[in-house]
Amino acid sequence: MLTATRVAPPSRRRLAALADHRVFAVSLALAAALRVVTMLGYRPATLYWYDSFTYLDTAVHPAPSATFHPIGYPLLLRALLPFHSVELVAAVQHVIGLATGILLYAVLRRRSAPGWVAVSATVPLLFDASFLRLEHAVLSDTQFIFLIVAGPAVLMWSPRLSVRAAAGAGLLFAAATLTRTIALPLLLLVVLVLAVRRVGRRPLAALVLAGALPLAGYAAWYAQHHGRFAVSGADGVALWARTMTFADCARVQPPPDLARLCPNGTEADAASEYVWAPGSSLNLLPGDRFAHNDLARSFAIDAILAQPLDYLGDVVRDTAIAFSWTPIPHPDRTTPAFGFRIGHWELPDQPLIDKVRREYDPDVRGLSSVSPYADFLVAYQYAAYLRGPFLGLILLLGAVAAVRRPRVAAMPWALAVGLLIGPVAVLDFDHRYVLPVIPVACLAAALAHPRCGRS
């Protein structure tokens, strides 16, 4: 005997679909409330000397920078220039942080992750106080995190990679590279992983072309200003600073023109500090430190080739800082965690700050905490912090996923590892640089669930 099957009306099906996401909706609402509290608790926004002000100045006068700051983030600031408000910049970045969480959740649900798994993967990004602080600062990191999550999300959206998706991901990785140049080796890493997966020549070519063409265009623009085809004028200086913790010129035996960059007895508590230390050998050369970028790169390569084990040892030692239970300041002058405080912080008396005040936001001023919102955040941050061993566990779960289902999990896990080791390998460890690792590592770890990987 045949029986009729009742089909739920469309409105009921839509309600059922919404109910399936209600836990995430509640999480997102709470995360949004935390960001409102951050906006109310610290006015107008966190501004760092001198990074924030060079970004703001470049937004008003767009040009490729010969230092560590490519054009990507200043373009976002330029889009917000008509509003003349760094407070609005912080608000937009808080929205970008929420959007990154939505994207992470969406791609995991798309790959058949259970709701609780997908929500859990977004928790560090949405609720860790370090992300709240980062989004509230005029720094490129929040934009970079969004782009570095969006790239793999596009590549993973469908089981079969299309040419259009590959091209879109290539553009996202190019934008990430123009925000922070550490994304360039990550683009190469993604190409390698997808080539091993044999995704097809056309998608792979689309990814490479879409990633390379914007970078080539920027490099040509850079050449017009600085006389060399590149996306950065600081890569050699950064790598030179990395070698200052181990380089022994008796072993390196550099030629006379490079010997001027040998360690000269100047002490610093972290590799990156040698870039700025007035007494370091680089800063004793005539002219601007970045004018010697090519020379510094040549010295660094010679030092690494002469002392590869010393170089790897320093990279491993500094990377291990990320896994400590108690956050370790590195360098000592930094605040690795628990940076929400009560007080007022004046800006230094600098001509560039006055220029930014005139041209970008007349209300640029030092940061001030506002009670009771800041009091809540000061207490909240001690509980809402991802301790190093938990990051290690997340990466371990991602490794399991990469082994069990390499076609879907190998790429985000490789990105997370690259994001963790890459900055240390080319310059130094910084707790800020660990934050982009977390959402990508969570994406890979969530794919360890048996249901994940299916469309």
- For the beta carbon of residue 362, count every other beta carbon within 10 angstroms: 11
**Whether residue 382 has a cis bond before it, omega within 30° of 0:** no
Question: At 68, is the pLDDT very low, low, confident or very high (cuts 50, 70, 90)?
Answer: confident
What confidence score (pLDDT) does residue 6 get?
Answer: 58
pLDDT of residue 65: 87
Q: Is residue 67 within 8 Å of residue 54, measured between CB atoms?
A: yes
Identify which of 188, 146, 167, 214 has the alpha carbon closest to the alpha carbon of residue 418. Answer: 188
pLDDT digits (tens, 9 = 90+) for 343-356: 999 999 999 999 99
319 & 416 share domain: yes
Question: Do 181 and 240 fall into the same domain?
Answer: no
Reference 126, options 105, 152, 98, 103; nearest CA is 98
Q: Work out the average pLDDT over 94-115.
A: 96
Rounded to whole angstroms, the Cα distance separating 175 from 74 reads: 12
Domain assignment present for 209: yes
Q: Could you tell me which of 194, 192, 196, 118 has the C-alpha nearest to residue 156? A: 194
pLDDT value at residue 14 = 57
Alpha-carbon distances of 306 from 244, 389, 439, rounded to whole Å: 13, 34, 36
Closest residue by Cα to residue 170 from 185, 156, 191? 191
Are residue 301 and residue 418 in the same domain, yes or no?
A: yes
Q: What is the mean pLDDT of residues 23-52?
A: 96
Examine residue 143 and state whether it is found in any structural domain, yes or no: no
Distance CA 331, CA 155 (A): 36
Residues 274, 263 share a domain? yes
Q: How confident is the model at residue 455 (pLDDT cuts 50, 70, 90)?
A: very low
Q: Which of 69, 74, 73 is nearest to 235 (CA)?
A: 69
More confident residue, 67 or 182: 182
Residues 276 and 203 in one domain: no
Half-sphere exposure of 426 (CA within 13 A, CB side): 19
Which residue, of 232, 252, 269, is where some domain finishes?
A: 232
CA-based radius of gyration for the chain: 23
Give the rounded percent of residues in the chain with a pLDDT score beyond 70: 95
Which band of pLDDT confidence, cut at 50, 70 and 90, is reported for residue 2?
A: very low
Query: How do residues 370-384 score in pLDDT, each as one tens digit?
Result: 999 999 999 999 999
- Residue-wise pLDDT for 326-345, tens only, equals 999 988 888 888 899 999 99
- 431 and 295 in a single domain? The answer is yes
Q: Say whether both 186 and 268 belong to one domain.
A: no
Picking from 146, 139, 135, 141, the residue whose alpha carbon sits closest to that of residue 42 is 135
In a domain, 403, yes or no: no
User: By three-state DSSP, how is residue 43 classified?
Assistant: strand
Buried b (16+ CB within 10 A) or exposed e, 387-409: ebeebeebbebbbbbbeebbebb
Q: With bands split at pLDDT 50, 70 and 90, how would you rate the model's confidence at 1?
A: very low
Q: Are residues 189 and 261 in the same domain?
A: no
- Assigned token pair, 404: 């069990």
| φ/ψ bin of 287: left (φ > 0), alpha (ψ from -120 to 50), beta (otherwise) | left
Which of 212, 232, 252 terminates a domain? The answer is: 232
Q: How many domains does the chain have?
A: 2
What's the confidence (pLDDT) of residue 18? 62
31 part of a folded domain: no
In whole angstroms, give the CA distance from residue 193 to residue 320: 25
Query: Are the CB atoms for 58 and 71 separated by under 8 Å?
Result: yes
Please give the average per-residue pLDDT across 161-179, as a whole number: 96
Give a yes or no: residue 1 inside a domain. no
Q: pLDDT: is 333 or 138 the higher one?
A: 138
Q: Is residue 382 part of a domain?
A: no
| Whether 191 and 327 share a structural domain | no
pLDDT at 391 over 80: yes
pLDDT at 332: 85
84-103 burial by CB neighbour count: b if 16+ within 10 A, else e? ebbbebbbbbbebbbebbeb
pLDDT given at position 335 = 82
**In-domain check, residue 248:** yes
Q: Which amino acid is at 407?
A: R
Average pLDDT in the chain: 93
> What pTM does this model have?
0.93
Read off the pLDDT of each residue in 259-287 and give the average, rounded to a whole number: 93
DSSP secondary structure string, 402-452? HHH-HHHHHHHHHHHHHHHHHHHHHT---HHHHTTHHHHHHHHHHTTSTTT
221 and 244 housed in the same domain: no
The pLDDT of residue 3 is above 80: no
Could you say which of 232, 267, 286 is where a domain stops? 232
Q: How far is CA 255 from CA 243, 260, 302, 303, in A?
A: 17, 9, 10, 12
Going by pLDDT thresholds of 50, 70 and 90, the confidence category of residue 451 is: confident
396 pLDDT above the threshold of 60: yes
- Within 8 A by CB and 6+ apart from 292, the residues are 236, 237, 261, 282, 285
Q: Is residue 370, in this structure, part of any structural domain at all?
A: no
Please tell me the distance from the alpha carbon of residue 161 to that of residue 152, in angstroms, as a whole number. 11
289 and 244, same structural domain? yes
Domain check: are 180 and 289 in the same one? no
Strands 344-345 and 367-369: antiparallel
Grade residue 9 by pLDDT with cuts at 50, 70 and 90.
Answer: low
| Band of pLDDT at residue 12, cut at 50, 70 and 90 | low
Confidence class for position 83, pLDDT limits 50, 70, 90: very high
345, β-bridge pairs? 367
User: Which residues form the domain of 190?
Assistant: 166-232
pLDDT by residue (tens digit) across 207-242?
999 999 999 999 999 999 998 899 988 999 999 999
